[in-house]
Structure 1
C-alpha cells in the first residue's frame, strides 16, 4: 500500500475513531451495550445470548430499520481503507466481533473482568437467532446466494428449527443490478412480512447495500452474515472448533481456497495488525 494512501487511511480512521469513541452506536448505547473502537468500528462487548436478545427485541419494532454486522478483520480493514465502506458501516447499529482478532483487540481496551471469552461468529449467531425465534413472532427472509444455495439453506433450517417461520428468499442477479432491483427486493421483503432479513451478498457488497439504503429499506433487522449461507447449506466446510477458538479459522479457509483467499488474508491480516498497533500506540501517547 503506498505511503500516501496509508496516511490518508489513518487520518480518515482517526476522525471516525474519535466519533465512535464519543458516541458509539446509538441503538447499542440505548440497549446499554458497551462498544470499543477497533479499526474505527464500534465493536460491541457482548456474547451470543445478548446479541440474540437484541436482534429479537429489535425485530419487534415494526417501524425501524436496524443494521447488524458480524465483523471480521476484512470488514475492519475495509472500513479503514475504503471511505465509502466506512461511511456505510457508520450506519450500523450493532457490530459483533465475528473474528477472534477483533475480540483480542477489544479486550485489550477493557478491564479484565469485562473481557469477552468468545467471539460472536456470524454463522453461529444466525443459527442461534433462528432457533430462539421459534417461540417469537418473527419471520425470516434470506437475501443473496444462488437459488440452489437458498433451497439447501431453507431445508437445513426447516430441519434444525422446524417451528421457525422462513417467510421468503431471493437470489438477486450477480454483478451489476438493474435499476429496478432495489424496489424488487424491497417488495419481496414487504410481501413476506419478514422482520429479520439475513443478507448474504458477500463483503463489501452487503455492508454497502444495507448502510447506503438504510433509510429506504422496509422495517426490520438486516444482518450481514457473509459466508454463513454457504456454510449452513453445506457447500463450504467450516473450520474445526479448536481452530476457531484460537483464531486460526482463516488458515483453514486458506488451505481450502488458496487461490481465492491468499491475497485477501495476506493483505488484510497484515494491515489489521498494523492498524491495531498504530491505534494502541496512539492511545498510549
Structure 2
C-alpha cells in the first residue's frame, strides 16, 4: 500500500496513493460512519480548479483526490519527483471499492446519471459481486435542486442504510455535489463520473494500451466528439503548458478559453 502524501498539481491537492490505499481509506471511514469526500481527477478535473479559484477551494476542501489520469500521475513525478506504479483510475477504483463493500457488507447508494443507467449499473455490479448490497439509487434531475429537494436527498440516503455513496454527475458538478453534501452525510461520498456509464455497459472504455499511454482522452473524444472536443483540444495543451511552466518556475497565467469549462453549479 502506497501513500506518499498530498501534493499540489496546478494548485489542486492530489494524493499520491495507489488503489489499495484509496480503498482502505474509504472503507475505513465507511465502517466508522464518518464523512469522507473523494474524487478521481483527470486533466479536465484538475483544470477546472486551475481556471476557477472558487472551484479550486472546493476541490481542496475534499478529503481525497486521486490521480485518475496518467498525465496527472506524470505531473506528480515532474513537479514532486513522486513515481506511482499506476494511476488510480475512477472506474477501476469503483470496482475495487465495490468488491470491498461486498466483502465487508457495506450497503451502497447510487446517485446521479439517468434511471436507465443506474438500474443497469446496479444490476451489473450485483452480478459481478454477489454479496453487494445496493441500499438505494436516485437518478439526476439534471437541474439545480431546491433547498427542500436537497434535504429530501439527504433524508433518502440516510434512511436507506447506505454506508457509502457513489456519485455520477460528471465533472465538475459531481465534485461540487460531494463538497456541498460532505457535512450532511456521515459516510464516504465518491465522485466517479463516467464509471456509471462504463459499468452500466453503455459506454466503451479505451483499450488498455491507450489508457497506459495517456491517450484515453483521444478515445473518448472520438466516441463523443461534439461534447468533448473543446474540453480536450483546449485543456490538454493548456495543462501541459502550465505544468512545465510551474516546473521551470515561470509565472502561470490561466487563460479561460470560450466554452472550455462547464457550469459548476451544484445540481442533482
Instruction: Give the TM-score taking structure 1 as reference length.
Output: 0.84
1:179-218 matched pairs, under 5 angstroms = 179-215=147-183, 217-218=184-185
1:31-110 matched pairs, under 5 angstroms = 33-62=4-33, 64-110=34-80
> 1:88·1:210 contact (CA, 8 Å) conserved in 2?
no
Deviation at 1:154, TM superposition (A): 0.6
> 2:41·2:68 contact (CA, 8 Å) conserved in 1?
yes
Q: Is 1:178 matched up with 2:149?
A: no
Aligned length, in residue pairs: 250
1:105-144 matched pairs, under 5 angstroms = 105-111=75-81, 115-144=83-112
Once residues 157 and 54 of structure 1 are traced to their aligned partners in structure 2, the CA distance between those partners, rounded to angstroms, is 21
Q: Compared with structure 1, are the counterparts of its residues 33 and 65 closer, same or farther at alpha carbon in structure 2 (3 Å cutoff)?
A: farther
> 1:206·1:224 contact (CA, 8 Å) conserved in 2?
yes
Once residues 97 and 283 of structure 1 are traced to their aligned partners in structure 2, the CA distance between those partners, rounded to angstroms, is 24
> 2:43·2:236 contact (CA, 8 Å) conserved in 1?
yes
Deviations 1:137-185 (A, max 9, x none): 4111100011111110011011001101111110131123233221111
Indicate the residue corresponding to 1:241 in structure 2.
208
Deviation at 1:214, TM superposition (A): 2.5
> 1:142·1:150 contact (CA, 8 Å) conserved in 2?
yes
Deviation at 1:267, TM superposition (A): 1.3
> 2:75·2:243 contact (CA, 8 Å) conserved in 1?
yes
Once residues 119 and 75 of structure 2 are traced to their aligned partners in structure 1, the CA distance between those partners, rounded to angstroms, is 37
Aligned-partner SS, 1:202: coil
Once residues 229 and 54 of structure 1 are traced to their aligned partners in structure 2, the CA distance between those partners, rounded to angstroms, is 22
Deviations 1:98-117 (A, max 9, x none): 00000001022445xx5112
Structure number with higher helix proportion: 1
Instruction: Give the TM-score taking structure 2 as reference length.
Output: 0.89
> 1:150·1:229 contact (CA, 8 Å) conserved in 2?
yes
Aligned-partner SS, 2:17: coil
Deviation at 1:88, TM superposition (A): 1.0
Q: Compared with structure 1, are the counterparts of its residues 95 and 283 closer, same or farther at alpha carbon in structure 2 (3 Å cutoff)?
A: farther
What residue ranges of structure 1 are gaps of 5+ in the alignment?
Answer: 1-30
